[in-house]
Amino acid sequence: MIELLTAPTPNGWKITVMLEECGLPYRVKWINIGRGEQFTPEFLAVSPNNRIPAIVDHGPADGGEAVSVFETGAILVYLAEKSGQFLPTDVRHRKAVLEWLFWQVGGLGPMLGQHGHFKLYAPDRIAYATERYRTETLRLYGVLDRQLAQNEHVAGADYSIADMACFPWIQTYRAQEIDLPAFPHLKRWYEQVKQRPGLRRGMEVGRDRINRQPQADAETRKLLFGIKDDVQ
């Protein structure tokens, strides 16, 4: 059994999508990041970077004691290897999936995260920061659009953990005020993979728990954004 420590956010949904797609049994332990549960010693023992998601595999392949994994890229690779799905084993296709997976965790996620932060949550509107991250977001959309003009899926012909890493972030396009139809190949892919039953189930996990206004609460602002309201 896989124990998933998570919250309903794009990074969390990468893993619920993979767990639904690959069919490994799992149970969810919710971590309320707006209340600081990512800083408890129990959570830090499995996720020392105090970020969700993380997993604990209580039935690892070697039959030994439970294995914990943090960082979505590492979790996706771990689950792909455990289930034997969504990460090809031949050298060329495997390296393509890893390239796009690392591109997502090192670029698409962090840049869209910063764009969303300055656009939606920052206490002051800082035009330079918003514009800088918007420009980078649009550049990354363009990179993905060109890749999907040549390939059915993010890392080539087959659906893989690279698609699962990208989808929950692209799904934020409305909040980020990105014109998806301006990226026709990306839009084609988005509409196509959105039909997958496993992906749909994974994206539904925790929907009723979403905090749509994290900036509205002083304690959450302090915990998530480091904003201390008493300091000017």
Ligand X SMILES: N[C@@H](CCC(=O)N[C@@H](CS)C(=O)NCC(=O)O)C(=O)O
Residues that bind ligand X (CB under 6 A): 9-11, 33, 38, 50-52, 71-72, 105, 224
Least CB distance to ligand X at residue 9 (A)? 4
Where are any strands of DSSP class E within 47-150? 54-57, 67-70
Residue among 47 and 147 whose Cβ is closer to ligand X: 47
90 CB burial (10 A radius; 0-12, 13-18, 19+): exposed
Nearer to ligand X, 156 or 168 (CB): 168
For ligand X, the closer CB: 10 or 156: 10
Write down the least CB distance from residue 186 to ligand X, Å: 21
CB of 184 to ligand X, least distance (A): 28
With b for 16 or more beta-carbon neighbours within 10 A and e for fewer, the 105-135 pattern comes to bebbbebbbbbbbbbbbbeeeeeebbeebbe
Using the minimum distance from each CB to ligand X, give the nearer residue, 77 or 155: 77
CA atoms within 13 A on the CB side of 77: 15
Instruction: Tell me the C-alpha to C-alpha distance, in Å, between residue 18 and each of 65, 89, 104, 162.
Output: 23, 18, 15, 10
| Minimum distance, C-beta of residue 188 to ligand X, in the bound complex (Å) | 26
